[in-house]
Structure formats: C-alpha cells, structure tokens
Amino acid sequence: MKLQRWLRLARLTVFVWIAINIGPHSQAEVGSESDWPNYGNDPGGMRHSSLSQINRENVEKLKVAWVFHTGDISNGENGRKRSGFETTPLLVDGKLYLTTPFNRVIALDPVTGKQLWSYDPGIDQSLDYGDGLINRGVATWLDSSLAAGKMCRRRIFEATLDARLIALDAGTGAPCPGFGGSGQVDLRNVPGYRHSGLGQHTWGWYHMTSPPVTIDDMVIVGSSIDDNHRVDMPSGVVRAFDARTGALRWSWDPISRSRSGVASASNIGAANAWSIMTVDSARDLVFIPTGSASPDYYGGLRPGDNKWANSVVALHARSGTVAWGFQLVHHDLWDYDTAASPLLATLPRDGRNIPVVIQGNKTGFLYVLDRDTGKPVFPVEERAVPPSDVPGEKASPTQPFPLLPPSLVPHHLSVEDAWGPTPADRKACREAVAKLRNEGIFTPPSVQGTLAIPGNLGGMNWSGYAFDPRHNLLIVNTNNLIARIRLIPRDKADSDNEDGNYGPQLGTPYGMRRRFLQSPSDLPCGAPPWGTLTAVDMAKGAIRWQIPFGSMRGFGGEHGSTPPGSISLGGPITTEGGLVFIAGTTDSRIRAFNVETGEELWSAALPAAGNATPMTYEVNGKQYVVIAAGGHQAISEESLGDAVVAFALP
C-alpha cells in the first residue's frame, strides 16, 4: 500500500512539474495524466508519460490488445508516390485521433480500436509531394467560449499534403463551418505564401507533413518544401490563424527579404519549418525548427549565413515576432535541417533549475539553450571547417560545435575504416571512399564528389528524442550513414546517369547527385553500428549509455552474421514505469528498454516497420501503448502496411 501511494505521489509530482515549467493553457493542452493531447504529450514535447502501470517488472507480459487497419496504402504505382505511415495518435476526451498517408482523419475507440468516424479531405494524390504520401498527425484545441456539447467546442486540426488547414468537430468529424471556407483554409491563397510563379503542376512542392500547434486561440502551421529542384522555391513562411475563424493573425518568414548584402534575397526559398513545433504558453513562445534554404547543396546565390535557416527560433506567439534565434548550421550545404523537434525541459545547473530548449540536428550535435534568451547553457564554440573548392561557392569558414554533450554520431571515416560484410564488399567500399573529398563533417560538396558524414538522414532526424524528468535523461535514436554528394556542371547534367538521387538545382550552375554509400551486398559502407539508442545525462552533458539499436540483418536480403544496429525513423517515448518505448527500425519491431541502463526488456514483431513515434494512455484503469506500423515511403526494402497496433498487459 505504501508503494502504491508513493507511485501516485510520483505521478502527481511529474504532472505538477509539467504544469509549472511548461505552463497550463487551454489552447495548448497539458491534459490529464491519462491522456496524450499533443504530438509530444505535453506542449513542450518531452514525450514523457506519468503512467506506470506498465513498468520494468511486467513489461515482458505485454500483448497485442487490438489492431486497426486504415486501408490507405500506396506502393508507388498509378501515378502516386509511395506511402509511409508516420502518424502519432492523440488521446483526448476518451477518443483516439490519427491520420493516414492520404490525410484521412480517423477517430477510434481507445479500448477496442473500433472506428468512430473518419473524414476524407480528398487530396490530389498524384502531385509531387517530395518524400511521398505521409502525415505525422493532428493538433487539438478546446474552445472554452462554447458550452459543453456544442459543435466544434473541441476541434481537431490537420494540415494536408495539398496545403490546406482543416478544422473538424472532434465528436463527429464534420468540418467546422465558421473556420475559413466550409471548415478549411487554402494555405496557397493567403498572404505569406510566395509561389515564385511556379505552375499549378508544381503545387505539390509546397505541402504539409507535420501537425500544427495551438496557442493563444491560434493554430500555427509550417510547411514542407521539396529539396533541390531550383533556387526560387516557395518561401518557408510560418503562419498563425485564428482557431475559431481561420483568419490570418500573423506570418513569419525565416529568410529576411530586405537584409542588405544578400544577393537575390527575393529569390531565396525554403528554410521552412517542416518538422514538429512546440510551445510554452506561460512565456507565450512558440519554438520553430527550420530547414535549409533552397537549394540544399549549392549556395552561391544565397551568400552569408542564411539566417534563420537551419535554426531553432523562438517567436512571440501573439505577434509572430522573433524573441531569439540560434543557428545550428551556417550556410547549409549538406541538407542538415533542424529536423528534430525543440524539446522544453528544466535542468539543474550550477545550483539552479534552468528552463531550457534542447535542440538536436542531423549533424548529431545536441544544443542546450536558455529558454528565455537562446544563449547556450553548455558552451558552444565556432570552429574552422573546410572551405569550398567550387567556383561561385563560399562556404561558411566556421560552424558551431557544442562542447557538451559530445556528438552522438561519428564525424570522420578513413578509407581503412570503410566496412563490408565480405572482403569483396570492403574492397568496393574502400575504393568508393578513396575517390571522395573527405575532411570530416562540414566538408563542402564538390565536383569530384564529397563524403558526407553523417549523410542527410542524420544524426538526428524528425525522430527526435524523449526526456525523462525524473532521471534527467534524454533518449535519442540516431543514424550513422555516410553519403556521397557530387555537384554536376550544368553542361554535363543531361548526360550524367550515375546511380543516386538527382536534383537539378535549376537556376544554379550545378545539378546534384547524392546516394548513401552501400557495399554490393546493400549493407552500408560506414562502420557499424548504423543506428544507436543513446541516453544523455542532461544535467552533466554526458552520455549515460549508448547501445546498437535494432538490426539490418534482412536489409536487401539475408547477410548471415550482421552487426547490430539499424537505421531508424520514428522516435522514442519514456514513462514513469522506467521504460523507453521505440520502434522505427528496419526489422519491424517495437521495443522497450530500461531507461537507466539501456537493457532491452521486451520486443514484439509488427506487421510492418513502425516508422512513427509511439504514444501511451490509460482508459478504465488499463494502460495502452500504440504505434503506427506501415513502413517508410523512402525505404524500398521495407514492406508497406496500414496497421495501428495497441499493446496492453493481459
């Protein structure tokens, strides 16, 4: 009985901690400890649950409670791109809300998995949506001015691939009639969207893949913009709309159009916020992670640092003006987006509790910033990096290197360290690496070909991280893949047929070709492990534990003895049960780890790879863990699926 009282007290303590440090607000909901009301659970994105029914002692007993199939899958045929299933459901008011790759919004009974309603926005699935047909979820908002039971008192917001912001009644799935036109706002036809004269057939280049956030009776949305097509891509504007009416409240462009000394500033596009945003209602701040300016691999027409691309920026929520910004990569030439979500936590430091923003990057670096000022809590120093040898390009002479925590992925690979499962594979990989310009991280792209370490998958990608406030541990999954980047002079671009992903980069003197370096067996040429799971002690800025995560044994065929560690896309969550839950690997499993030691305590097979972040909730005294398992649109070795799988104790 004493233990039960202690557990209840611990759960209450965490809930109160969140309320104090993140700030309660009806529009950016903290919710009850049994719910999961935001993508990252709390508005600050810690991805931590106070639930402890499932714990280290009983997690091995977890079984499938229910499975729901959406039916929405595209294998890349019939004029459509492949689909991926990246949604993280929300649990509010006793209903589970999720999205499909086709932007259908579905409400489920959280106990049985039975569908309650669905809404189909009818997107044009034939448009060129960059990485494919994906959506990571919805946001919710409660209109406190309406009485309980009134239509659209609880709203579900979705931002669609064809650039619409839609408001739905949470109870029925019907569009909210007072929001925009018939419940939706066309994001291409309001101020702040600069299309650059591109034709209608390119509308898919400007789309939305991540959920909005809500604060101050507003709903705020970023955008996803295709990489490497051309210089004058749409601007990466972030906009806030009235949550009741859909009227535009403000817009913020990461790239200044009036900054002196920036040639062709009016043509610089992207620098968009395609990943997950977070909010601090008590401080009235919204935190924006931004990507690179267009195009990614040649910046001769966008000289300078390109602020605020590749940054984390705190905006005043009521006005959209900049409170502070911190740039993680200057003048990006490697597609090193700030893809991970900003995470808000409070850390003990020098005898004080400091509210911070934790921000990771595809580089594998973690930056810890004061939440009020944006100044580094752990030191960051500008270090000299290699110059570009490409005519017309001027790479940044320095880049910001955090002194703590240490990088979570390698930043150098010698020819001798190139790997392969057989002598023939190793020989092929070493020959491939030897041909490339290779001076470690931040070696600029070249006509010769450059080794990018890490490649554009990260490091840290949108998978992000979770924070356990009891132990001050940040749990991070990272990728360790090397890539080759080669610039192709314009007069040779049409005749280049080398294997790899091609980007024309129109408007610049160079096309681009990139690919991850793989041996003839299809396994990566970089030294394993190719994926790790790491616990970082954020009070000390030190790694507590780091383990190979998942397996690539079946990647591209069976390989016999394969080192542990898999690339992963889909992040972790932590719970008061002392657990980390995470899927994301190519071996189609979900796993639970001891948060303090990294010991794997449980795993279960999924019907397809779980390339999404799980969530957990409690209904009627039973805790559930839910994951979307549908594979990844860009990993052809993975089979696709449409399953939402819930686990619970028997």
Rounded Cα–Cα distance for residues 367 and 337 (Å): 14
Task: Write down the pLDDT at residue 7.
Answer: 41
Task: Write down the pLDDT at residue 30.
Answer: 58
State the CB neighbour count (10 A cutoff) for residue 424: 12
Question: What is the sign, positive or negative, of the torsion defined by CA atoms of 380, 381, 384, 389?
Answer: positive
Q: Which domain does 332 fall in, by range? A: 2-648
Tens-digit pLDDT profile for residues 518-528:
999 899 999 99
Query: 28-32, 225-229, 245-249, 533-537: lowest mean pLDDT where?
Result: 28-32
Task: Write down the pLDDT at residue 262.
Answer: 43
Classify residue 455 as exposed, middle or buried by CB count within 10 Å of its CB (0-12, 13-18, 19+). buried
Q: Supply 262's token pair.
A: 């920036």
Rounded Cα–Cα distance for residues 88 and 527 (Å): 32
Look over the chain and give the mean of its residue pLDDT values, rounded to a whole number.
91
Classify residue 245 as exposed, middle or buried by CB count within 10 Å of its CB (0-12, 13-18, 19+). middle
Number of domains in the chain: 1
Tens-digit pLDDT profile for residues 281-295:
999 999 999 999 999
Three-class SS string for 440-508? CCCCCCECCCEEECCCCCCCCCCCCEEEECCCCEEEEEEECCCEEEEEEEHHHCCCCCCCCEEECCECC
Rounded Cα–Cα distance for residues 141 and 218 (Å): 9
Is residue 27 very low, low, confident or very high in pLDDT (cuts 50, 70, 90)? very low
The yes-or-no verdict on residue 478 having pLDDT over 50 is yes
Task: Write down the pLDDT at residue 553.
Answer: 85
State the CB neighbour count (10 A cutoff) for residue 305: 16
Give every strand in the sheet of 483-489, ordered side by side. 450-452, 483-489, 510-516, 501-503
Is residue 266 very low, low, confident or very high in pLDDT (cuts 50, 70, 90)? low
Is residue 537 very low, low, confident or very high in pLDDT (cuts 50, 70, 90)? very high
- The domain spanning residue 37 has which CATH number? 2.140.10.10
Q: Which has the higher per-residue pLDDT, 414 or 80?
A: 414
Active site residues: 335
The yes-or-no verdict on residue 562 having pLDDT over 80 is yes
Q: Which amino acid is at 590?
A: I
Tens-digit pLDDT profile for residues 88-143:
999 999 999 999 999 999 999 999 999 999 999 999 998 888 888 999 999 999 99
Over residues 199-211, the mean pLDDT reads 81
The yes-or-no verdict on residue 244 having pLDDT over 70 is yes
